[in-house]
Structure 1
């Protein structure tokens, strides 16, 4: 017998909303988490991105709080980024459409006027980034005494972004008697420590081994000697018709801007490519994301600000222009494709200096990323001297991290490459000093 949402103790309003969204059968995380949350247990949920965990925690909570009541929030949902906060709030809108529940997302990077007005008019559910929550709480705009549910989404990203001090302050000002739900795609040691101080005898729900990649995502790795080869390879791949909607992930804002400008120079217009990162204004980022979601833009160049929680269907390709140095982010990045059982491709470019990080990522995901040769049509220029020196320095630093006694091959190589008369004169100078 096929599982449906009718098996859960959900009211007609929620079942109608689920039907409107086209959900027919619950995902594994929904099937396991909804009954446990409905029975009042704290939950530690570990599920890879794109598995439907937002609905897994929203449906039972919406069922419990049911209808608008009082002036103060009864459910607080914390998210690490404004994009994820907006995404969760959109999911509340869709699932609570046949109820009168009031909700709002608050986040930094924009004015507080409308956020304060919503709080003052009364809310049942508040979705917030930790920083903006504390800002408005300290101004006296948020009353916490009625909170019954505290939900933390993407907990691992919260830790990576340094939100722990704000989270601890929030935990101090909300009622002790509450239900707690913590969701994360990975479960590193720091998240485990947080769960121990945040959750009361939680039920652990892990629908896939932590840090696994979706089976619907085909992965590939290209070994690229330098930045220019990456650019040439990106241009070649984007010229192919099969990339119908793609995200290009870059490690820094500067690289993202450079890649975007390169694609513009190659003739891609604003209706084909956009760039988003932390220096872009909030409205610009939201507009670019919406244009990409609606299919008005084919390529989105982004830093990891968009790697998590952005539920955009039918992303055909993810291209890691740079290898992420927060290794769990590899899982989150490639999780942008292959969603909702659709197939997708994740392509990664790796320089010699990034090979170290790939080895760490492969250890986390417990599989080797298949290597592919660079197509013969792609020009592979020689690596400029300065870039080559930077690569060698980085490899040296990596070896030193692994072995503190390692002296440094880069410096030895420099000494070997120094003209003989220079080395001789330095040795002579040292000899004179000793004789003195």
Structure 2
């Protein structure tokens, strides 16, 4: 039987806030982590996305901080993206609403002036991206000497984004005597390295196999020949308003995301869709996510910059319009649906050039993604010559990556063409006696 929050050693203010948020039963990561964190242990938590790990560390930290004290922060939570930092801050504020604890979120993308003013006014918990935290600290606006808790959330994503240097610099400026909590969906070599530098005799908590998608997510794989057929399939599923009620479409690049946004906007109206990626302003991204959370829009188109920063209940479908090149992102993308025991569906659209990454994803998650045939209503477009060439080049590059001696189809064609040309030249070459002019 799952444990109820009332059974944990949490004070009444926190329990009332948890109840107000509609939570009664703890998820497995919460059940396993809350008590060890309360007892002061370092934690290495391995948990798939959408399992409630934010509450697993926020609730016991709030319990131990209890009330506002002094002006300097006593807890620092680091997150890889601004979206995730804002999401964590929302959770902290929800669970601390009956306390006077003060939380400030700091991230890049906008001027630091307001963030610095908020910190100077007094803060108990800072939620930050590593780069912006260091910027403000190095400008002497953060006093770290009273920090008791240091949390690394989504440590694998931080390593993927190249934050290992920033993390080591932060470890140099925080007190040695502190409680450390690290959470990651996967256990890569870099994550294990930072865990060794960061944690002291940690309690390891694993609630699922590493990089295993939530069991509540039904996965489907569609083999499609080209981009236009992907668009046709997308249009087909979006017509099903009753089943596809709230969905996120993930794309590999900003250009593809903008193209899909424009297509859906033309097809279903501007009130149906928003797009978020790195070129969008901070306020635009925040407003788009809020519109999606509030149910004002049905479709959110996003690049992977947002795949870990969207915590929205009742997302019916995730559609991978492109297969992610960073294969771990597949787990985080599809984790946007099927959250907190809810059911969800994840559809992946795959061309021949993307099968290489599907094989690696299936190896990572240790399961095959079921292949579903294209619906008969979906028109299969003929692949344009340029796209066909691009797909062939990509496949050649992938084979060359696996086998450095592989020359590639283009090399073979070029070689064959050279041989044919040489043969033609030899045939057409006139004997020297024919060229010689004889005098009469």
Is residue 276 of structure 1 aligned with residue 309 of structure 2? Answer: no
**SS of residue in 2 equivalent to 1:126:** strand
Q: State the match for 1:402 in structure 2.
A: 402
User: Is the contact between residue 49 and residue 309 of structure 1 (CA under 8 Å) also seen in structure 2?
Assistant: no
Superposed displacement of residue 6, structure 1 = 2.1
Q: State the match for 1:261 in structure 2.
A: 262
Q: Provide closer, same or farther for how the CA distance between residues 426 and 398 of structure 1 changes in structure 2, counting only shifts above 3 A.
A: farther
Mean alpha-carbon deviation: is it higher for 328-337 or for 384-393? 384-393
Q: State the match for 1:349 in structure 2.
A: 349
Superposed displacement of residue 228, structure 1 = 1.0
Q: Give deviations 1:286-323, integer Å, cap 9, x for gaps.
A: 00000000100000010012211421000000000000
User: Is the contact between residue 274 and residue 300 of structure 1 (CA under 8 Å) also seen in structure 2?
Assistant: yes
**SS of residue in 1 equivalent to 2:62:** helix
**Mind listing any 5+ residue stretches in structure 1 that lack a counterpart?**
430-436
Superposed displacement of residue 72, structure 1 = 0.3
User: Is the contact between residue 50 and residue 339 of structure 1 (CA under 8 Å) also seen in structure 2?
Assistant: yes
Q: Give deviations 1:247-301, integer Å, cap 9, x for gaps.
A: 00000111101111122232x2221011000100000000000000010000001
Superposed displacement of residue 418, structure 1 = 7.5
Q: Give deviations 1:16-36, integer Å, cap 9, x for gaps.
A: 111111111111000000011
* Counterpart Cα distance in 1 of 2:376 and 2:345: 21
TM-score, length-normalised on structure 1? Answer: 0.95
Superposed displacement of residue 426, structure 1 = 9.4
User: Is the contact between residue 62 and residue 96 of structure 1 (CA under 8 Å) also seen in structure 2?
Assistant: yes
Q: State the match for 2:437 in structure 1.
A: none
Q: State the match for 1:157 in structure 2.
A: 157
* Counterpart Cα distance in 2 of 1:222 and 1:423: 45
Superposed displacement of residue 398, structure 1 = 0.8
* Counterpart Cα distance in 1 of 2:125 and 2:2: 32
Q: Provide closer, same or farther for how the CA distance between residues 2 and 51 of structure 1 changes in structure 2, counting only shifts above 3 A.
A: closer
Q: State the match for 2:293 in structure 1.
A: 293
* Counterpart Cα distance in 1 of 2:31 and 2:342: 20
* Counterpart Cα distance in 2 of 1:185 and 1:346: 18
Q: State the match for 1:14 in structure 2.
A: 14
Q: State the match for 1:166 in structure 2.
A: 166
User: Is the contact between residue 82 and residue 309 of structure 2 (CA under 8 Å) also seen in structure 1?
Assistant: no
* Counterpart Cα distance in 1 of 2:186 and 2:81: 17
* Counterpart Cα distance in 2 of 1:209 and 1:165: 28
Q: Provide closer, same or farther for how the CA distance between residues 316 and 427 of structure 1 changes in structure 2, counting only shifts above 3 A.
A: farther
When Rg is computed on C-alpha atoms for both structures, the one with the higher figure is: 2
Superposed displacement of residue 93, structure 1 = 0.5
Superposed displacement of residue 347, structure 1 = 0.2
RMSD: 1.7
Matches within 5 A, 1:243-258: 243-258=244-259
TM-score, length-normalised on structure 2? Answer: 0.94
* Counterpart Cα distance in 1 of 2:113 and 2:352: 49
Q: Give deviations 1:7-52, integer Å, cap 9, x for gaps.
A: 2111111111111111111110000000111111100001011110
* Counterpart Cα distance in 2 of 1:343 and 1:425: 67
**Mind listing any 5+ residue stretches in structure 2 that lack a counterpart?**
430-440
